[in-house]
Amino acid sequence: MPNPYSTELAITLCRNEQDRPDVARARRRWKEDLNAASTCLAERFPQTFVLEGYRPHRPLKVGIAADLVTRCPELDRRVLSAALSAYARRVMYLKGMVAGAARVDLDGNPVGEVSAKDEEHAAAKLAEILAAREARRAAAVAERKRAEASAAAAARSAERKAKQPATPAAVTAEQATRQPAIPAAAAPPAAKALRDRPVLRLPAFRSAAR
């Protein structure tokens, strides 16, 4: 039986291809909304959230999303959920998920600890993220090398062509089929009229018999 979700996904992707400008604008707006939500969390709860990804991150309280909905009702729940998910996938956050580390609430107060199972899950997620980054980096390096090799080959080909002697232009089909014009044979000189020729006059012979 065909999977209806696969069909729906194919239709969605097709529509996205047709409406690419709208999809690009929607993605930009979504990214802007996520950045705005992350900035808001870091400004309103500096004891719990950090804006810069390179700084140490403290593990968050389990169920902190519900607390945020109560304390920040003006934030869109869908955007807030996505912002929290992105925050929990940061490399520094996953590195901070060590068994026994304290989890904090919105005011920075310790509420619970990170379990060994949580640490194991975070370590697996971190390894997955780092592997994906390395794969993208390797793919980018390989693509750059292919582009450089292609450009070098094109340059060598152009250099070889420049050094070759110029060849005569190709003969067109019309020129190949065209026969060279044969000059007309010169007409023989017209024969002179008989009257124009000199007349040979012989001496008259008299008859011997009278």
Between CA 76 and CA 44 the distance in angstroms is 16
CB contact at 8 A, 112 and 61: yes
**How far is CA 37 from each of CA 50, 194, 200, rounded to the nearest angstrom?**
12, 124, 134
Give the pLDDT band of residue 198 (cuts 50, 70, 90): low
Q: What is the mean pLDDT of residues 136-162?
A: 91
- Give me the chain's average pLDDT, please: 80
| Terminal C-alpha separation, the chain | 146
The pLDDT score that the predictor gives to residue 113 is: 96
Nearest to 130 by CA among 83, 89, 86: 89
The pLDDT score that the predictor gives to residue 58 is: 96
Answer yes or no: is pLDDT of 207 > 60.
Answer: no
Answer yes or no: is pLDDT of 37 > 90.
Answer: yes
Q: Which of 1-10, 76-85, 193-202 has the lowest average pLDDT? A: 1-10
Give the pLDDT band of residue 66 (cuts 50, 70, 90): very high
Give the pLDDT band of residue 21 (cuts 50, 70, 90): confident
Answer yes or no: is pLDDT of 120 > 50.
Answer: yes
Answer yes or no: is pLDDT of 164 > 60.
Answer: yes
Answer yes or no: is pLDDT of 129 > 80.
Answer: yes
Answer yes or no: is pLDDT of 190 > 90.
Answer: no
Give the pLDDT band of residue 6 (cuts 50, 70, 90): very low
Q: What is the mean pLDDT of residues 88-94?
A: 96
Locus of tokens 């609430």: 105
